[in-house]
A and B are shown apart, each in its own frame.
Chain A
């Protein structure tokens, strides 16, 4: 006879976020997991909370020259320049593949003008198999828009409001970390009708080859991601959580369940694994397993009970 106390403790990882039903709160971050097929041999996509695909613009975009990526202590610099096949290319090439899976598909979108955002959002909203849009207003690589939308509250509000009008899909706004106060941006997203915010994108940064004295990246500057940015991301998530009640999706340097749990406690409802996937393509799965083990160890019946529980 097994006594009731010996029964394994069951915890529930599922939650609803911005109208999405997630089997767990662990997603893969935009730009680090391709469009789905790239890692499908080694990661069962159906185990993910959601898949967030690489940023899509209305028209195809060639991106920056190479070198586009450079490893630094605690992370990497990237200046891919948002290369993508455009909305039609994505719909024709990748969406049929993604539709075969039972996983929420979040499409990250970007543009260089408000009109670009509106048109790509409109186009994608009419396609079955897309479950939410993540609006990147924070890419540090495109001079013509990304950075200014993400670093000026008035412009951010304009984009978010305009996209909100043309889509009924859950709308996630991806914020830039490159601001002195994240709270007005979080509020602007909530006020304009966004369903969630995600943070953080990579930080503008630079590396120089001391032998040639030339920037290592062809683009001169790039975005810093990985372990080095995690504590900054925790602070920004914590501050954003105090400013708004809409859910937060946190990313920045997650390598194990440790960082994911930290984000949830700080105020995130879900998390995304980015750079860590390059060293360990199964990092997202390890995070899911580690999160479950953490909840069991602490006898927490649902992951929802962990969100926004930082003790001050």
Chain B
């Protein structure tokens, strides 16, 4: 059930230059939310924005919920002004969330940028430990890896500038590991990050015959399934159709996602 709740800011911390951790007291949403779900946050009204902003849930415990956000534009810039004790309106929990992990499969998490946020929440709640692969542009975009290590998860890092870990894309690091340790094992992929990464990880899952759960990021309006702004082309019972990322997603199985954008919606009568 979707709820509207006034959340009180409890902590608001810088995480490097471009990221912030926002912890909010929001008992009803916090209790109900599952990994992979997100909240729709009403940016303080002085910013004069028309739309809320969606953020994946990073942590949720004891009535408190955190998000990890990147400063990218007007909304996230305005959010920086939130202080301890201030309140914000949240709508949530939204979206389908990750499915329960398949029994016997080894969880492989692949994150790009703030994609670590929902995957950390997932790792916390998974019954069995797996491995995290994380890709970033530079070391400054690497977030909360210690949190994963505290859970006892091994972490493999790839940075595009080679400042930490493997130099290059996270898929290169993933491929090396799959070649060395993936043979004959049943894996289950969970990924959140840029579309190129999701497509690549989904491709690996499909090629191996494993499940691949991808968390998609789409510009959103309502966040509740009402406006049809956030659609993604998917395969459903053999036919191609639009799914609403906010309501039917944001998590989709790799085989269901149709990546070629044009086609559907050409509106040829």
Contact = CB atoms under 8 A, between A and B. Distances in A.
Contacts of B153: none
A39 B265 contact: no
B52 to A, nearest CB: 6
B2 A41 contact: yes
A63 to B, nearest CB: 6
A263 B242 CA distance: 37
B91 A42 contact: yes
Interface in A87-131: 112
Given A34-B225, A34-B226, A80-B228, A279 B261 contact: no
A209 interface: no
B55 to A, nearest CB: 16
Contacts of B222: 32, 34, 38, 277-278, 281
A69 B1 CA distance: 25
A39 B224 contact: yes
Given A41-B3, A42-B4, A63 B228 contact: yes
A192 to B, nearest CB: 26
B267 A69 contact: no
Nearest to A228: B50
B50 A278 contact: yes
A62 interface: yes
Given A39-B226, A42-B2, A63-B228, A81 B42 contact: no
Contact of B229 (A68, A226, A280): A68
A183 B4 CA distance: 41
Interface string B24-58: 00000000000000000010000011111000000
A81 B224 contact: no
A65 B261 CA distance: 7
Q: Taking each of B4, B222, B266, which has the highest tally of chain A beta carbons within 10 Å of its own beta carbon?
A: B222
B221 interface: yes
A contact patch SS: loop
A83 B221 CA distance: 15
B222 to A, nearest CB: 5
B43 to A, nearest CB: 9
Nearest to B247: A38
Contacts of A73: 48
Contacts of A68: 228-229, 231
Contacts of A279: 42, 49-52
Interface in A254-306: 275, 277-282
A278 B227 contact: yes
A252 to B, nearest CB: 14
A283 to B, nearest CB: 11
Contacts of A112: 269
Contacts of A65: 261-262, 264-266
B208 interface: no
Contacts of B220: 69
Given A68-B231, A279-B51, A76 B265 contact: no
B226 A38 contact: yes
A153 interface: no
Interface in B81-138: 89, 91
Given A38-B224, A281-B224, A78 B51 contact: no
B247 A144 contact: no
Q: Taking each of B223, B228, B229, B242, which has the highest tally of chain A beta carbons within 10 Å of its own beta carbon?
A: B228
Nearest to A61: B267
Contacts of B269: 112, 144
Contacts of A62: 241-242, 264-265, 267
Q: Taking each of B51, B219, B226, B229, which has the highest tally of chain A beta carbons within 10 Å of its own beta carbon?
A: B226
A142 B48 CA distance: 30
A74 B1 CA distance: 30
A150 B226 CA distance: 25
A84 B43 CA distance: 30
B267 A63 contact: yes
A63 B265 contact: yes
Given A63-B231, A78-B229, 15 more contacts: A34-B225, A38-B224, A65-B261, A65-B262, A65-B265, A66-B231, A69-B227, A71-B49, A74-B48, A74-B50, A76-B51, A76-B221, A80-B228, A277-B226, A278-B222
Interface of B: 1-4, 42, 48-52, 89, 91, 218-232, 241-242, 247, 261-262, 264-267, 269
23 contacts: A31-B227, A34-B224, A34-B226, A38-B225, A39-B2, A54-B226, A62-B264, A66-B218, A66-B229, A66-B261, A71-B50, A71-B51, A78-B227, A80-B228, A81-B267, A83-B231, A112-B269, A226-B50, A277-B222, A277-B226, A278-B221, A281-B91, A281-B222
Instruction: Report, nearest first, the 5 A-B pairs whose CB atoms are least far apart.
Output: A34-B226, A69-B229, A38-B226, A41-B2, A38-B225
